[in-house]
A = this chain, B = another copy of it.
Amino acid sequence: MDKSCINVGILGWGTVGTGVSKILINQNALISKNSGVELSLEKVVKRSLPATREGIELPPNCLTSDPNQVVENPDIDIVVELIGGVSEAHSLITRAIENGKHVVTANKALLAEHGGELFQLAQKHQVSLNFEASTAGGIPIIKTLQESFTANQIESLYGIVNGTCNYILTEMNLHGVDFSDVLTEAQEKGYAEADPTLDVEGIDAAQKLSLLIALAYGVNLSIDKFHVEGITDISQKEIQYARELGYVVKLLAIAKLTDDNRVEARVHPTLVPERSLLANVGGAYNAVCVIGSAVGPTLFYGQGAGEMPTASAVVADIIDAAKSVKNGIYPEISHAWFPDVPVEVTVCPIDDIYTRYYLRFVVIDRPGVLAKIGSILGDNDISIASVIQKEPHDTETVSLMMLTHKALEKNMKTALNEILKLEVVKGGAKLIRIEEEVDF
């Protein structure tokens, strides 16, 4: 089969859908020149009509409110799902695949939840299901893991994959403001949703991590097995003290292969060395570091969201699918989503990880306090690397910060429990994990 023109239908004409329609119509000649495929945008589905968008004029009869004009339309070769949410997207993509259409989606929540089922269906019907835009927006990290780093065992992966959190932490770091103030400002500027829970609690980052892990380790893990902490507990104090100690606080999505073939899968605020590239990824930008057995340390940086960056990734996926249509082939789908492939890796529970820690305690300013805390840590095989004591909070208490050497998380929990029972310790401890491996 050699089709000269490949027909595309878009489900959803929101921000990203608008960007994709702009590129497909306004940059049609550029795409043809660069890729050798001819694309035609046949249908765009928007629930409530009429609708117009600045900077783009759709052809007559292109806009419709009926998704069946895309998923049930025999003329459409590629379906682009950009409505978001899980339930409706799930049923529309299912129909499209059953009708033999290639599918492109940016829907990480859908894939994190129903990836296994949908990829198996795509293989059964020999169509591609592309999802570059689901993780880190315009950064081609999906293709890099699927195609460029195939000869590597992925040793570890560290991602700033949530732009909202990175924007908030960057502002807190630059301007000395508190989390809640930045969040309000971010909501006003459109960098954060009205309900920011999925972002600031780390859930969005965990969904993206599950996709990265599927590609890096060939295993489809449910995010409820991950350790997920958001940034809502990060205070200005932690930002400042971290900086004094030579670190920057970032929300990282982390995957690591352990020596016994388990995968650490965790999302949490992390101290990274302030001179590292990762620490200098500012604002709403995303970056993913991948350390591969052959390629060594790498970093990929770009915009993780927004109309045109995300559309750039979606259109790249459309072009890949169009080449499959044109050549009458369909690409291999990662075995991660197939239950008949023996699973070689399991999640390493957070208790079993081994890392460095930043700790802050509010303690009574009295001789012997450090000795008491140090003794409990020592009893639990935790060795202190450095200590800073800060000016009194009030007349009685001071902040005591320490960085530890690498220790087992389970031991840290035990030690913290004991330390918090000490009469001299007032208020809860703050704990932030440290990653030194990204010091490049």
Cβ-based interface call for A298 (8 A): yes
The answer to whether A294 touches B275, judged by C-beta atoms less than 8 angstroms apart, is no
Contacts of A335 in B (CB 8 A): 33
Residues of B within 8 A of A35 (CB): 150, 332
Q: Tally A residues with Cβ within 8 Å of B.
A: 57
Known contacts: A218-B34, A280-B275, A329-B329. The answer to whether A312 contacts B19 by CB under 8 A is: no
Copies of this chain per assembly: 2
Q: How far is the CA of A385 from the CA of B287 in the complex (A)?
A: 34
CA distance A299 to B298 in the complex (A): 11
Judge if A309 is at the interface, Cβ distance under 8 Å. yes
In the assembled complex, A417 has its CB within 8 A of some CB on chain B: no
Instruction: List residues of chain B with CB within 8 A of the CB of A323.
Output: 332
For residue A73, CB closer than 8 A to chain B, the reply is no
The answer on a CB contact under 8 Å between A329 and B332 is no
Given known pairs A295-B302, A300-B300, A301-B277, the reply for A30 and B329 (CB within 8 Å) is no
| Residues in B whose Cβ lies below 8 Å from that of A139 | 298
- Do A27 and B147 have beta carbons less than 8 Å apart? no
Chain B residues with CB under 8 A of A138: 292, 294-296, 298
Interface majority SS (helix, strand, loop, mixed), chain A: mixed
**Chain B neighbourhood of A329, CB < 8 A:** 327, 329
In the complex, chain B residues whose CB is within 8 Å of the CB of A300: 298-301
**Is the C-beta of A114 less than 8 angstroms from some C-beta in chain B?**
no
Which residues of chain B are near A143, meaning CB under 8 Å? 140, 143-144, 147-148
User: Which residues of chain B are near A36, meaning CB under 8 Å?
Assistant: 332
> Within residues 122 to 157 of chain A, which ones have a CB less than 8 A from any CB in chain B?
132, 138-140, 143-144, 147-153
Whole-angstrom distance from the CB of A429 to the nearest CB of chain B?
33
**Across the interface, which residues of B come within 8 angstroms of A293, CB to CB?**
308
User: Within 8 Å of chain B (Cβ to Cβ): is A408?
Assistant: no
Residues of B within 8 A of A302 (CB): 295-299
Contact with B along A263-300 (1 / 0, CB 8 A): 00000000000010100111001000000111111111
The reply on A319 being an interface residue by CB < 8 A is yes
Given contacts A138-B294, A150-B319, 4 further A-B contacts (CB under 8 A): A33-B335, A139-B298, A140-B140, A140-B149
A-B contact pairs, 30 of them (CB 8 A): A27-B153, A31-B150, A33-B335, A34-B151, A35-B150, A138-B292, A138-B296, A138-B298, A140-B143, A143-B144, A148-B313, A148-B316, A150-B316, A151-B312, A277-B277, A277-B280, A277-B281, A294-B312, A295-B303, A295-B308, A295-B312, A296-B308, A297-B302, A298-B300, A298-B301, A298-B302, A298-B303, A299-B302, A323-B332, A329-B329
